[in-house]
């Protein structure tokens, strides 16, 4: 892993990499990994080499799920289960890299949006003077949450240095601050402690991180798309946690010969000359970027007809999913898909396409038996919505 991450760093692969959490004990003076970045990491955006999203071979369901979450983060995160080396983390980084850069308040550790005075962090809120703060454009952040991360590193904690040297009670923001308005990626989420997973899902759902400890009380914006990946053979997520993720997809090594050849060829071309590869895929990347941007604009106006709501409810009743979270996710995912497709109304077809990802992890009995769950959903779809 250290080898791999240093290579990524040379390529400027990561937008934000939590190096601090890998060291122990935590070093309060390392406030921002960006400031201590190696020169190569400060390369201009055009030189940053993320594998183009559109060049990812196959994995259609995973790509669609991440696109949907990028259009409507309230679907509640994406779980990606499957073999190693199937491009799970590449897909997240690639999508973040293709999204338009976001304006943030300069110097704000929470990536506050200068255009939205509501939902500012305490720091920007206190400095608000009525005129717009100084802004800069930054890439959409992708924060990696390593398995060994302590709760303090994740949510933020008392700044020990300030406390010890100056006697000040100051808050040192954690990974949730840096992930605001971006993606939080957890590799092997099934091996993370349950209470941390619970906490992350809570914050992702509310869009706010509230820290109360050691006499501190800090509330700051933390809106991010949570993406968890894992290999079910290495450990399972409790059903209660599974159910709290919006979408769940399974990826596997391509079985098709032509796909395997394409994967290797593209990866090789990319690694030999990332810049030329980026140029070759630019048109496709631009097309997807436009699709996401217009879907976000269209989303609030996208209509869910009563008939579609009824179909979603019937489908969930037929499958016996608990509570209403399944229906809510199904409808939200279908609406985001309709917006991506440029359609004004959510149709049966949209429901059909997002139903497996929205429901397969919510079925009782063998929630991780993806194949079984998927065929149960396919059967219910046929019965309820027709062939």
Sequence-distant (6+) residues with CB within 8 A of 24 are 148
Q: Which of 325, 332, 360, 365 is flagged as catalytic?
A: 325
At closest approach, how far in Å is the CB of 20 from Zn ion?
20
x/- letters, 200..229, toward Zn ion (CB under 5 A):
------------------------------
**Distance, CA of 359 to CA of 377 (rounded, Å):** 8
Fill in the DSSP letter of residue 102: E
Run of H or E including 219:
strand 216-221
Per DSSP, helices labelled H in the chain are 2-10, 60-71, 88-98, 122-127, 151-155, 160-166, 175-179, 194-206, 239-242, 257-272, 274-280, 282-298, 306-319, 325-341, 348-359, 370-385
Smaller CB distance to Zn ion: residue 180 or 374? 180
At closest approach, how far in Å is the CB of 133 from Zn ion?
8
For residue 108, state whether it binds Zn ion (rule: CB under 5 A). yes
**Distance, CA of 350 to CA of 228 (rounded, Å):** 24
Smaller CB distance to Zn ion: residue 46 or 118? 118
Smaller CB distance to Zn ion: residue 114 or 239? 114
Only one of the segments 102-110, 180-188, 259-267, 301-309 lies at the binding site for Zn ion (rule: CB under 5 A); that segment is 102-110
User: Tokens representing 372?
Assistant: 């079984």
Smaller CB distance to Zn ion: residue 112 or 330? 112
Report in angstroms the alpha-carbon separations of 202 from 155, 245, 249, 275.
12, 10, 21, 39
At closest approach, how far in Å is the CB of 121 from Zn ion?
3
x/- letters, 111..150, toward Zn ion (CB under 5 A):
-x--------x--x--------------------------
For residue 96, state whether it binds Zn ion (rule: CB under 5 A). no
Smaller CB distance to Zn ion: residue 112 or 241? 112
Q: Is 130 left (phi over 0), alpha (psi -120 to 50) or beta?
A: left
**Distance, CA of 376 to CA of 248 (rounded, Å):** 15
For residue 110, state whether it binds Zn ion (rule: CB under 5 A). yes
Only one of the segments 15-23, 103-111, 322-330, 370-378 lies at the binding site for Zn ion (rule: CB under 5 A); that segment is 103-111
Q: Identify residues 8-47 at the interface with Zn ion (CB under 5 A).
A: none
Only one of the segments 100-108, 184-192, 306-314, 378-386 lies at the binding site for Zn ion (rule: CB under 5 A); that segment is 100-108
At closest approach, how far in Å is the CB of 131 from Zn ion?
16
- Give the interface size with Zn ion as a residue count (CB under 5 A): 5
Smaller CB distance to Zn ion: residue 108 or 340? 108
For residue 247, state whether it binds Zn ion (rule: CB under 5 A). no
Only one of the segments 104-112, 228-236, 270-278, 318-326 lies at the binding site for Zn ion (rule: CB under 5 A); that segment is 104-112
**Distance, CA of 5 to CA of 93 (rounded, Å):** 14
**Distance, CA of 372 to CA of 211 (rounded, Å):** 41
- Decide if 296 is catalytic: no
Q: Tally helices (H) and strands (E) across the chain.
A: 16, 11
Fill in the DSSP letter of residue 387: -
| Binding-site ranges for Zn ion (CB under 5 A) | 108, 110, 112, 121, 124
Catalytic residues: 325
């Amino acid at each position: 892993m250290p080898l791999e991450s240093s290579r990524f760093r040379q390529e400027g692969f990561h937008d934000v990499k939590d190096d601090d959490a890998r060291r122990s004990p935590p070093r309060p003076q390392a406030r921002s990994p960006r400031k201590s970045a190696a020169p190569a990491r400060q390369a201009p955006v055009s030189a940053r080499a993320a594998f183009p999203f559109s060049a990812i071979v196959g994995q259609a369901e995973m790509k669609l799920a991440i696109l949907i979450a990028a259009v409507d983060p309230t679907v509640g995160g994406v779980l990606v289960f499957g073999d190693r080396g199937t491009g799970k983390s590449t897909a997240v980084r690639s999508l973040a890299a293709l999204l338009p850069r976001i304006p943030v308040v300069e110097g704000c550790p929470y990536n506050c949006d200068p255009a939205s005075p509501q939902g500012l962090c305490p720091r920007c809120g206190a400095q608000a003077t009525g005129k717009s703060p100084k802004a800069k454009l930054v890439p959409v952040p992708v924060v990696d949450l390593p398995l060994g991360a302590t709760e303090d590193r994740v949510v933020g904690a008392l700044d020990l240095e300030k406390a010890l040297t100056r006697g000040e009670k100051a808050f040192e923001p954690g990974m949730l601050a840096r992930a605001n308005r971006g993606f939080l990626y957890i590799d092997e989420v099934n091996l993370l402690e349950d209470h941390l997973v619970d906490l992350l899902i809570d914050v992702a759902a509310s869009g706010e991180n509230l820290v109360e400890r050691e006499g501190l009380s800090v509330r700051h914006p933390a809106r991010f798309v949570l993406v968890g990946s894992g290999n079910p053979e290495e450990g399972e997520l409790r059903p209660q946690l599974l159910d709290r993720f919006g979408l769940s997809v399974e990826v596997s090594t391509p079985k098709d010969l032509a796909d395997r050849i394409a994967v290797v060829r593209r990866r090789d071309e990319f690694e030999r000359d990332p810049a030329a590869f980026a140029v070759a895929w630019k048109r496709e990347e631009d097309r997807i970027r436009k699709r996401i941007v217009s879907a976000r604009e269209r989303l609030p106006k996208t209509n869910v007809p009563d008939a579609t709501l009824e179909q979603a409810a019937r489908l969930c009743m037929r499958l016996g999913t608990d509570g209403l979270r399944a229906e809510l996710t199904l409808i939200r995912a279908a609406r985001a898909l309709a917006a991506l497709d440029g359609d004004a109304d959510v149709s049966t077809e949209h429901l059909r396409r997002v139903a497996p990802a929205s429901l397969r992890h919510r079925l009782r009995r063998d929630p991780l038996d993806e194949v079984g769950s998927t065929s149960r959903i396919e059967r219910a779809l046929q019965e309820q919505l027709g062939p």
